Amino acid sequence: MRRLALRLGRRLLGGLVMIWLVSTFTFFIVHALPGDPVQVQYETLLARGVPPDQAQHQVSVMYGFVPHTSVWHQYGDYIFGLVHGDLGQSISYTGVGVGHIVLAAAPWTVVLVLTGIMASFLVGVSLGVLAAVRRSSRIGDLLSVSGSLLHGIPQFVLALLLLYIFSTQLAIMPYGAPYDASYSPGLNWPFMQSVISHAILPVAAYALSSYGGWLLTMKSSVISVLGDDFILAAELRGLRGITVMRYVARNAILPLFTILALSIGFMFGGSVFIESIFDYQGLGQMLLSSISARDYPLMAGAFLLITAAVIVANILAELVYTVIDPRVRRQA
């Protein structure tokens, strides 16, 4: 137990160092981008018919949110704020806290991608076992082909197809918002129903495009485990088929847990296409709009969250692996 705690401590420390390194790197990358947020807003105001002098005066308020000290000074402020839990103020939201904006967008990405990943994982793993066990039958072949096919179709193509069929042509599925704004958010059926209906297409796009990967990985993992000596021993000892399958599944699924944990970490950054196509206002969309507005603090905040999620997921994956696989635990 003490060894586990030590291991956890080391990992957390390593994770913090990694977050600092990555946030430093992204800070300088973000600030190296050409473009001026104030000029972007000035042009936007002119395009809306605001007279040039008025536009110039108007952006002066926004100008106050753009740091004008040296990049190193700004970096110092950024790290100081970070240590104190302050991600700074957004430029394009004229002074609203970055933490507030990120927290407003993150839940929708979590709902969308977590559901998508879990759905694809469960379906993919179950069908992967079936495809491995029935690998010599037509069902096995069919499942493998479907997995390869769907895995090969880019996510955005699948998303566009679903959107076109169900929202544009048949017009039976909503998109463009996480729920119908007429409903009050809370634990009430109309609201939940609205959230579900708005999430069906993006989740389906996510799940359909990624279940093939799970299926094929699980299939090859099961086939590999099926050839292990301990399975042969179990069969020779006359254990029931379901027990043998349990042994197979538990061992075959181990490598997939690591991928699952990493997928969850990457979900914040990987949601850009799906959110963009379905106009689902999560972190991916927020990141895109912050880049076009050159909102440096918001970009840095979004990147930080993505980085932290990946690193935390990595640590969790390692810990979970230690818990579920006695061989790794012994080595540790």
Q: Reduce the secondary structure of the chain to three states and give it as a string.
A: CHHHHHHHHHHHHHHHHHHHHHHHHHHHHHHHCCCCHHHHHHHHHHHCCCCHHHHHHHHHHHHCCCCCCCHHHHHHHHHHHHHCCCCCECCCCCCCEHHHHHHHHHHHHHHHHHHHHHHHHHHHHHHHHHHHHCCCCHHHHHHHHHHHHHHHCCHHHHHHHHHHHHHHHCCCCCCCCCCCCCCCCCCCHHHHHHHHHHHHHHHHHHHHHHHHHHHHHHHHHHHHHHCCHHHHHHHHCCCCHHHHHHHHHHHHCHHHHHHHHHHHHHHHHHCHHHHHHHCCCCHHHHHHHHHHCCCHHHHHHHHHHHHHHHHHHHHHHHHHHHHHCHHHHHHC
Site string for another protein, 83-122 (x = CB under 8 A): ------xx-xxxxx---xxxxxx--x--------------
What is the nearest approach in angstroms of another protein to the Cβ of residue 46?
Answer: 5
The size of the interface with another protein (CB under 8 A), counted in residues, is: 81
Interaction between residue 155 and another protein (CB under 8 A): no
**Single residue of 26, 74, 146, 167 touching another protein by CB under 8 A:** 167
Select from 121, 175, 303, 321 the one that contacts another protein (CB under 8 A).
175
- Nearest distance from C-beta of residue 59 to another protein, angstroms: 8
Interface with another protein, residue 229, by CB under 8 A: no
Question: In the set 32, 83, 172, 236, which binds another protein (CB under 8 A)?
Answer: 172
**170 is an interface residue for another protein by CB under 8 A:** yes
Nearer to another protein (CB atom), residue 58 or residue 224:
58
- Quote the least distance from Cβ 301 to another protein, whole Å: 11
Q: Which one of 176, 188, 235, 324 is in contact with another protein (CB under 8 A)?
A: 176
- Minimum separation from the CB atom of position 282 to another protein (A): 8
Taking CB under 8 A as the criterion, which residues in 48-67 touch another protein?
A: 48-49, 51-54, 56-58, 60-62, 64-65
From the CB of 95, what's the least distance to another protein, in Å?
3
- φ, ψ of residue 121 in degrees (nearest 5): -65, -50
CB nearer another protein, residue 116 or residue 282: 282
Give the per-residue contact string, 11-40, with another protein (x = CB under 8 A; - = no).
----------------------xxxxx-xx
Question: Residue 296 Cβ, how far from another protein at the closest point, in Å?
Answer: 12
